[in-house]
Structure 1
Amino acid sequence: MNLIFKNAVIIDKNSPFHKQAVDIQVENGIIKKIAKNIAPDGFDTVELDNLHISKGWFDSSVSLGEPGYEDRETLANGLNVAAKSGFTDIALQPTGNPIAERQADISFLLTKSATAATKLHPIGALTKNSEGKDIAELFDMKNAGAVAFGDYNKSITDAGILKIALQYVQDFDGLVIAFAQDNNIKGKGVVHEGVVSTRLGLKGIPTLAEELQIVRNLYLLEYTGGKMHIPTISSAKSVQLIKEAKAKGLNVTCSVAIHNLILTDEVLTDFDTRYKVMPPLRPDSERKVLIEAVLDGTIDMITSDHNPLDIELKKLEFDMAKDGTIGLESAFGALQTVLPLEVIVEKFTAGKPIFGFTNQDITEGAVASFTLFNPETHWTFSKEDIKSKSKNSAFLGQAMKGKAYGIYNQGKLILND
């Protein structure tokens, strides 16, 4: 597909055209020319209102349904949703049935998604069936194409298992994802432990449950070496712990979920299970520290933590409902209400080298892999904006600023309807 993107403002600090409005000529998936007013000469043109283009965005934590839960989401539709939401790459959590824990499981995911515009990067389960008891076939999955290993939203209770995993993956430069939550302290908690949980009569989860596990995991990392990624942190103390670990030279990275940057536990007043997520929504004081940690670089990347769930799993009493919200469609518009554009682009792209693949700059001769968006439009997120099969969004009714047009990636142009 040969195209010219007309009058596009490039947002890429590594490009000599950063913040300039230019035309971008793409031929056979390669950026051939960047200049003012390139003549079409038989090329199709892409002209969109207030078009901005950045490096392709990457979401480091996406769950879909297939295999096993196609009623929640299929690979094909999920990748299409990601593309129309501006994501050229996603890391897929091992939440299917069967769980991705063998070489064949990773191969299936890559083969099934090979023709999509959004590239799928599988995360393999760290332990068999994500039960935390026995290490899965990590080396074989790495050879098949797994970019990291972790048990989605499950802490490894057995410190010995995590220790062995951190040591083992160093032989092939593997990345261990260590979700942080002490299950004994969490107990039967379902929301943040605080004023709101007391007022609503819901069992609380203290930030200590997250922080204590982070302390243990960082001690293990210091002992073993290797690479650890701590996903979706949610407390001020967690930020401080990770900042100190980085200062000591530990190879640790972390992410935060968009909903923990935007929403607080005050939205729980009506017991709406769309807001039941893990880690839970915290008070505004914690939210503000997370935003500061994004700005100062302690938090390396931002994720939607997209987790489609059908109505039978969410339309229940609050205690019984499953944790999770979809977030791809609302990701960019929600973030621009609290963060500057260039910071969002940085946090949506910085995770690529951490997960082991290339972050393409927007320069002549480079492979064309970029996101198209309008950062200025204002709108309200509604059910009509949801393209996922599941509708469990915590952002319904939220004011948005900016909207993704789509992506150009793997030689394909995918635009929003």
Structure 2
Amino acid sequence: MNVLLKSAKIVNAQSKDLHLKKRDILIQNGTLAKIASKIDAPKGTKIVELKNLHVSLGWFDSSVCFGEPGYEERETILNGLRTASLSGFTDIVLNPNTHPIADSSSDIVFLKNASRDSATDLFPLGTMTMGAEGIDLAELYDMSNAGAVGFYDFKSPIENSNLLKIALQYVQNFNGLIYSEPLDTKIAGKGLVHEGTTSTKLGLKGIPSMAEELQIVRDLFILEYTGGKLHIPTISTANSVKLIADAKKKGLDVTCSVAIHNLYYTDQVLEEFDTAFKVNPPLRDKKDTKVLIKGLNDGIIDFVTTDHTPLNIELKAVEFDNATYGSIGLESAFGLLHKIFDTEKCIELLTHGKERYGLSETVLAEGNKACLTLFDPDKEYTFEKDNIHSTSKNSMTIGESLKGKVYGIFNNDQLVLN
């Protein structure tokens, strides 16, 4: 496919000669053929001219759920990847949140095959334990050979400390990455939301910050003993940032992420008992959001994620106590993040993280693969249901004023535009 992007402002701090410069970009057969101030379109080339067009390297999301296989009513792989493309993401890491759950090499092969013709690349996680039940290790080595980029019992804490120890030791043989959900279930108890002033006022059972932090302390002690690679997904408290900062100073190989909604919203939005805001980890207070944002600016938190979790309506349209945790977030990710950070920082955050999974980084230069996200950072609009491409509509961002609109992506020799 041959495409000419006209007058695109390039946002790529690694390319000093191109950063914040307006250029025409000629793509031929999936390759960046030419980048120049003015390019005449060769015959048969599709010309793309868009208002206030900005271009960056393709965006990466480390925590996405779909539904297929088993929960296709929530989201299929095909439509999920189309949604990711239209949201600006050229690469996503898929959580094992399906039925059957991805705990064998054949499950990983199915996911890879189902996604191979899409513009957005899918990199699956396998479970750490069989059936994500926390009892016996799954086929970690075989899943790695099949294409799994890490191992995660999605949203299920590893209660058996020895099992985590063994997993961290075992995967060092093939440079595997272990996830550990930061939640002590005994401390969390039957909590539903962040334990604080809001939970007390609303009469909702609270989850103390300590429930997250105790688990992180344990995991970091084990990591210090075993070595290996550990990822702690979607942290949410101020003290969690401090604990991980201290571990990094010790030289431990640990990374962490934060969900974009945990940077923007606080537990005060729960006053209407809207189940769209029921997420795991819970929305915390203003002190936590400030420290999380600072943690990203300081490089302690490694990357942001949408934590995109589609859910069918009957799991959300119930009493708050009975509602399932989760919100979709792909479509609103850039517009929400851009209300917190400036454009350059947003792009830095959205393009970072692939190296943790052993994935090759793209360089924006002539002769390289074209892996690009197209967007307008200045477009202000109100996010509505019509902006949702996902099959499920469980978004906490509906009705929110956002800044920044995604046009689409070019990747795998495919142009996908809204």
Q: Deviations over 1:328-363 (max 9, x none)?
A: 000000110011212221121211011110120211
The residue type paired with residue 414 of structure 1 is: V
2:342, 2:255 → 1: CA distance? 21
TM-superposed deviation, 1:319: 1.1
How far apart, in 2, do the equivalents of 1:299 and 1:359 lie? 19
Whole-Å separation in 2 of the counterparts to 1:211 and 1:368: 41
Listed as ranges, the matches of 1:74-85 within 5 Å are 74-85=76-87
Task: Give the corresponding residue for 1:383.
Answer: 385
Query: Are the equivalent residues in 2 in contact too, given 1:55–1:359 (CA < 8 A)?
Result: no
CA distance in 2, matches of 1:14, 1:268: 41
Distance 1:318 1:168 in 2: 41
The match for 2:275 among 273, 276, 279 is 273
Kept after mapping to 2: 8 A contact 1:31/1:366: yes
Superposed CA deviations along residues 271-290 of structure 1, whole A, max 9, x for unmatched, are 11000000000011111111
Aligned partner of 1:119 in structure 2 is 121
Corresponding residue for 1:14?
Answer: 14
- Distance in 1 between the 2:21 and 2:193 partners? 45
Match of 1:38 in 2: 39
Q: Could you give the per-residue CA deviations for residues 40-60 of structure 1, whole angstroms, max 9, x where no partner exists?
A: 121221111111111100100
Alpha-carbon contact 1:83-1:118 (below 8 Å) kept = yes
Segments ≥4 residues shifted beyond 6 Å: none
Alignment partners' CA distance in 2, 1:370 and 1:177: 29
Structure 1, unaligned runs of 5 or more: none
- Residues in 1 aligned to 2:302 and 2:8: alpha-carbon distance in whole angstroms: 27
Which blocks of at least 5 consecutive residues in structure 2 are unaligned?
none
Letter in 2 for 1:40: A
CA distance in 1 between partners of 2:93 and 2:78 (Å): 15
Matched position secondary structure for 2:73 = coil
User: Residue 274 of structure 1 aligns to which amino acid in structure 2?
Assistant: A
Instruction: Tell me by how many angstroms 1:187 deviates.
Output: 0.3
Query: Residues 364-396 of structure 1, C-alpha deviation per residue, up to 9 Å, x if partnerless?
Result: 111110111000000011111111111100101
Distance in 2 (CA, whole Å) between partners of 1:148 and 1:216 is: 20
Which residue pairs with 2:25 in the alignment? 24
The 3-state SS of whatever aligns with 1:377 is strand
Indicate conservation of the 8 Å contact 1:66/1:75, yes or no. Answer: yes
What is the alpha-carbon distance in structure 2 between the residues aligned to residue 295 and residue 404 of structure 1?
A: 23
Between the aligned residues of both structures, percent identity stands at 55
- Please, which moves more after superposition, 315-324 or 325-334? 315-324
3-state SS of paired residue (1:148): coil
Correspondences of 1:8-407 after superposition (within 5 Å): 8-15=8-15, 16-42=17-43, 43-407=45-409
Output the CA distance in 2 between the equivalents of 1:118 and 1:73: 15
Structure 2: distance between partners of 1:375 and 1:50: 8
Instruction: Say whether the 8 Å CA contact 1:349–1:359 is kept in structure 2.
Output: no
Counterpart of 2:321 in 1: which secondary structure? coil
Looking at structure 2, the residues matched to 26 and 178 of structure 1 have their Cα atoms a distance apart, in angstroms, of 41
2:7 aligned partner, one-letter code: N
**CA offset digits 1:42-90 (Å, max 9, x no partner):** 1221111111111100100000010000000000000000000000000
| Counterparts of 1:312 and 1:76, CA distance in 2 | 23
What do the CA deviations read for 1:207-264 (whole angstroms, capped 9, x no partner)? 0000000000001111111111111000000000001111111111110001101100
SS of match in other structure, 1:3: strand
User: Which one-letter code corresponds to 1:364 in the other structure?
Assistant: E
Instruction: Report the Cα distance in structure 2 between the residues aligned to 1:350 and 1:406, rounded to whole angstroms.
Output: 18
| In 2: Cα distance, 1:44 partner to 1:257 partner | 36
Structure 2 SS opposite 1:49: coil
TM-score, scaled to structure 2: 0.99
Letter in 2 for 1:3: V
Shift of 1:179: 1.1
Tell me the TM-score normalized by structure 1: 0.99
SS at match of 2:190: coil
Distance 2:128 2:348 in 1: 28
Output the amino acid matched with 1:196: T
